Structure 1
Amino acid sequence: MRILRTVFWGLLVAFCTAGADRITVTLLATTDLHGNIYPYDYFTAAPANRGLAKIATLVEQVRRENPNVLLIDCGDTIQGTPLESVYQHFISTGRFPLGLKPSGALAADPMMLAMNRLGYEAMVVGNHEFNFGLKNLERARADARFPWISANIVVEPGAGVKPFDPYIVKSVAGAKVAVIGITTPSIPSWEKPENYRGLRFLPGVQAVRAAVDQLRRRERPDLIIAAVHAGLGEGRENMVTAVAKRVAGIQAIVYGHSHQREPGRRVGVVLLVQPQHWGASLARLDFELERRGVAWQVVDCRSRLLAVGKETPADAAILELARPYHDLAERYLTAPVAEAPVALDAALGRFEDNALVDAIHAVQLHYAKADVSFTALFNTGVRISAGPVSVRQIAALYPYDNELYAIEGNGRMVKEALENAARYFLSCRDPACSAGPLINRAVMGYNYDMAQGVEYEIDLTQPPGRRIRNLRFRGRPLEPNQKLRIAINNYRAAGSGGYGMFKNARILWRSGEDLRNLVVAYFIERGRLPDRPDGNWRIVPAGALKTLAAEAGRAQ
């Protein structure tokens, strides 16, 4: 019956548009879904206005309004929430974490199941698709009933990975619509080589230009859209602005990667749109086309973001499809890990040494057998009451699937890394640091690393690059040539976030397992979180801490 209805509506649309001189083609797009299906925050166990189940309701509303719809995703899909990471752990290792067993068979990747149900036409390959290795990537890709596209990923012969289609071409109400996929080419800077072996990543502008030329020769589309897993900019990692400026023939770019939102801006004649990450909004781009002889011409395009709200109902069929994965994730998250001797709070953990950050350092120093450890505080909202601590609380502290590396470094490298981290702050306006702002909003909090194994001060009366003082190692001033074994995550080892000093360091050891699992294993074995920080670093002058605390409170 469903097939008959689909055929009926398809014939009706074809009949109604066959003689039309003007049509509207609607592109709907999501990006950076990161395993979000349920409208639920797994790290706080609270409802959240996000996820594919609610996006499904918005998609259906648009389709009822206009049947001439294409639905795509801009990548970073199969990594993120515990709903995905628990399943990916099984695909990688053949077993579920903590010895858990699902209540029934898990047929396929949960995100692919939900996206198949929603009728996605294509998905751009994102950088986080590579986090679990090529076996996991290909397994999820095989589960999709739509192509994963990327015009700038070149698959070498013998790579063991099928080539990616550079684009899709669809006939919509008689008009030919092309969507080109582009992946940020910086993946080799973040991933270990075996996770992208046999693949090359071309610059985005070069690949889009080549794809447009090929489309014009072979397909002659009426409308060309670029779907890009990269942010605004004109560099290698984020090149959306450069594509808009330098490649002719594109009407619009829908993009992701940077976890920002953009309802619509123009660079020249090109419309740029970015939906909110985690399925918090759906991008809608409406293109008006007029028939000009045998072809169609775009005469207008406009965009907006359809926000997922509290009142947006979740699609029951999508929820039911994902329920076995959700239930397994919840069983994992509620498992007890350790005890907290006192209440712990991460709210000020970027401004003063904190026991929860020290907990991550303890794990990294232990497994990497390191002298010095670097980590960011990824979630300042973590609150742990005294008493039993669950996996959920640990996972909230380290929500990413990063691996732990030990690299060969020295004192100069540590000093440079700390100066880079200190860019998170602005210089004080007065000697007492009595007035803000002191937080540099141009530097993301996840790029502000703190160190353990050394002692130091961050002097905010000084300009960037000259803020780290009294840097000591084992009670003595840290010499630039002092050899050190340094614990960092794989993203830092690749130089991300301005940490170029780590990029070419010799890698001495890799965990082969994500850091979150290492944190869980470490505290299962020890049974107790730290009750206080060791105070190995501080911000000066003392008045800066009060100013920063007030500023952070206003931002929350």
Structure 2
Amino acid sequence: MGKLQPFILRRAILVLLAAALIPAALLQAAERRHLTLLSTTDLHGHVLPEDYFTGKPAELGLAKIATLIHDQRREDPHALLIDCGDTIQGSPLEYVHARVAPGPADPMMLAMNALRYDCMTVGNHEYNFGLQVLHKAENEARFPWLSANTIALASRQPAYRPFILRTVEGVLVAVIGITTPKIPVWEDAPHYAGLEFEDPVATARHWVDEVRKKDHADVVVLAVHMGLEEDLGRSDAPPPALPGENQCLALARQVPGVDVILMGHTHRVVPDLFVNGVLLTQAGHWGDCLARVDLYLQKSPAGTWTVIAKSARTIPVTREVSPDPAIEKIVAPYEAATQAWLRRPIGRCAVELDARRAREQDTALIDFINRVQAEAGHADVSFASSFNPRAHIPAGPVTVREVYSLYVYENTLVVVQATGAQVKAALEHSALYYRAAPPGTPPAARVDPTIPGYNFDIASGLTYTMDLTRPPGQRIVGLSYRGHPLAPDTKLRVALNNYRFGGGGGYTMFKDCPVLWKSSEEIRNLIIDWLERNHDIPTAADGHWSITWGLPTK
């Protein structure tokens, strides 16, 4: 839920207590209803309770969520089941289906069909494999995909259904889907060809007004693939790296007529939050919890239903929750193909390597990624990030599983012509990951919690020090290229992933750079190809960069 201001916490607790007392009071009323909403989000292709990085069991996945759904439906058989997007990308299961060994239908759609989802909002990662894969999965779903603010350029109409209407116990519920509008920042243009993404707040105002006035909806729910744009517990929180990416607080504050906002995209667990009378909740990611919303309504003498109380909570997936055997059976053939792909040997490593401290010091694994990128793109400088601090390469044979744990995203490689000034600006931006802190503060305590770790980039081909005793924007010192200070006007071939090239993570300095080359393969496959050709992972770090922490000298 994040750090909320004390008055917000007190208010939330009071509302929950009030909601708990409402049902008994309503027993005295002639016309009352209780509605239940269940929400998942950011499943990212995780069905089985497995950590694909290690091959070990994990407390996550739609098969375990299914058990929680069944439990909730025994309590309320009419509960609506809604997903907030990022569903068909993000795990080896979905990657193998999309790229390696396509099955007859998308495994996530098969599992969600079996669970009788009412709808799903389209997330940005639905576009990662291109429109052909997206539309195939959409057609295989037996529930509508929603996105009111995704517009087809040819017709100027929504490219997906903007909303659904469901009558539950005589109460008309409208669910409106909204997608983060920043997909063009992250995706290659062919992946969203013919589409544009309109302002979420203006779109929501239009469709909320539509369903309230024309359809006479009693309850309005926004199912949104966006999260909170502010940390409500920090007065000194920096502005978002990408303004407009997350707008759920703006939706709550600026769109009249909304009862509930189901959130996604940021992978946070938000049990409940009240903003301007609107209830917000978010169900984490990868199926680590299920969000439940309870709405209590009373009918007026005029015949209209009014929400008189509402509450939300998240139900965690734990070791005690068993996976649903029916869901496991549905994806079993897909999982078999996935495990065969993950077990494929591709190279060797002479010693054990890991990425635990890759954001604190130079490591062989990040140097390896940068080496592959630089060689593939004939680049002078390469930028890479430690996406997964749990990445681990054991001594001995290396399989696809280890490379997947090292490079978890389906990014492609872009080589641009950039200047020394732009490269330094990127390194200064990376250094924002660490906050100013008193001498002696441990590295983990210096991390800015509003900046995801995958936005800390490391450059190869250069020598530099990140001096955290200096103010932001002046932290990169000793920056040199081929043994000489890097001049601001020096032109360089710079390799980076397509997400960074589009400005992802706030790295806007490269957006207008001339493109010299683009890979047709994902970076993960470039790493696999390199290993199959060269066999051995380099095991020594280059030692070309370091951090000055400002620790006291002994």
Q: Same fold (TM over 0.5)?
A: yes
Runs of 5+ consecutive residues of structure 1 not aligned to the other structure? 1-16, 91-95, 97-101, 548-556
SS in 2 for 1:437: helix
Could you tell which deviates more after superposition, 132-141 or 284-293? 284-293
Tell me if 1:228 matches 2:237: no
Of 98, 106, 109, 2:106 maps to 109
**Once the two structures are superposed, what CA deviation does each residue of 1:76-114 show, in whole Å capped at 9, x if it has no partner?**
000011000011114xxxxx4xxxxx8xxx220000000
Tell me if 1:50 matches 2:60: yes
**Once the two structures are superposed, what CA deviation does each residue of 1:384-433 show, in whole Å capped at 9, x if it has no partner?**
22111111011100111111111121101110000000111123423x77
Partner Cα distance (1:162, 1:245) in 2: 24
> Which residue does the alignment assign to 2:79?
69
Of 421, 425, 429, 1:416 maps to 425
> Which residue does the alignment assign to 1:196?
192
Contact 2:147–2:158 (Cα < 8 Å) also in 1: no
Fraction of identical pairs, as percent: 45
Partner Cα distance (1:347, 1:383) in 2: 9
Shift of 1:243: 0.5
SS in 1 for 2:291: strand
Partner Cα distance (2:550, 2:366) in 1: 21
Give, as a single letter, the amino acid of the residue that structure 2 aligns with 1:465.
G
Partner Cα distance (1:77, 1:368) in 2: 31
Of 451, 464, 487, 2:472 maps to 464
Of 204, 214, 217, 1:218 maps to 214
> Which residue does the alignment assign to 1:429?
438
Shift of 1:345: 2.1
Shift of 1:438: 2.5
Contact 2:151–2:158 (Cα < 8 Å) also in 1: no
Of 443, 453, 464, 2:461 maps to 453
**Once the two structures are superposed, what CA deviation does each residue of 1:207-227 show, in whole Å capped at 9, x if it has no partner?**
100101111232110000101
SS in 2 for 1:425: coil
Residues 460 and 224 of structure 1, relative CA distance in 2, 3 Å threshold: same
Of 125, 129, 152, 1:128 maps to 125
| TM-score, L = length of structure 2 | 0.90
Partner Cα distance (2:436, 2:253) in 1: 35
Contact 2:468–2:475 (Cα < 8 Å) also in 1: yes
> Which residue does the alignment assign to 1:81?
91
Map 1:336-351 onto structure 2 (within 5 A): 336-351=345-360
Could you tell which deviates more after superposition, 481-490 or 293-302? 293-302
Contact 1:407–1:509 (Cα < 8 Å) also in 2: yes
Shift of 1:32: 0.3
> Which residue does the alignment assign to 1:313?
322
Residues 386 and 542 of structure 1, relative CA distance in 2, 3 Å threshold: farther
Map 1:498-513 onto structure 2 (within 5 A): 498-513=506-521
Shift of 1:68: 2.2
Partner Cα distance (2:515, 2:211) in 1: 43
Partner Cα distance (2:445, 2:492) in 1: 35
> Which residue does the alignment assign to 2:380?
371
Give, as a single letter, the amino acid of the residue that structure 2 aligns with 1:297.
T
Shift of 1:442: 2.5
Partner Cα distance (2:441, 2:174) in 1: 55
Contact 2:290–2:314 (Cα < 8 Å) also in 1: yes
Of 238, 241, 245, 2:249 maps to 241
Partner Cα distance (1:208, 1:274) in 2: 19
Tell me if 1:386 matches 2:431: no
SS in 2 for 1:115: helix
Shift of 1:512: 2.3
Residues 434 and 300 of structure 1, relative CA distance in 2, 3 Å threshold: closer
Partner Cα distance (1:23, 1:377) in 2: 50
> Which residue does the alignment assign to 1:476?
484
Partner Cα distance (2:141, 2:210) in 1: 26
SS in 2 for 1:424: coil
| Aligned alpha-carbon RMSD (Å) | 2.0
| TM-score, L = length of structure 1 | 0.89
> Which residue does the alignment assign to 2:536?
528
Partner Cα distance (2:93, 2:341) in 1: 10
SS in 1 for 2:33: strand
Give, as a single letter, the amino acid of the residue that structure 2 aligns with 1:442.
T
Give, as a single letter, the amino acid of the residue that structure 1 aligns with 2:50.
Y
Partner Cα distance (1:162, 1:229) in 2: 16
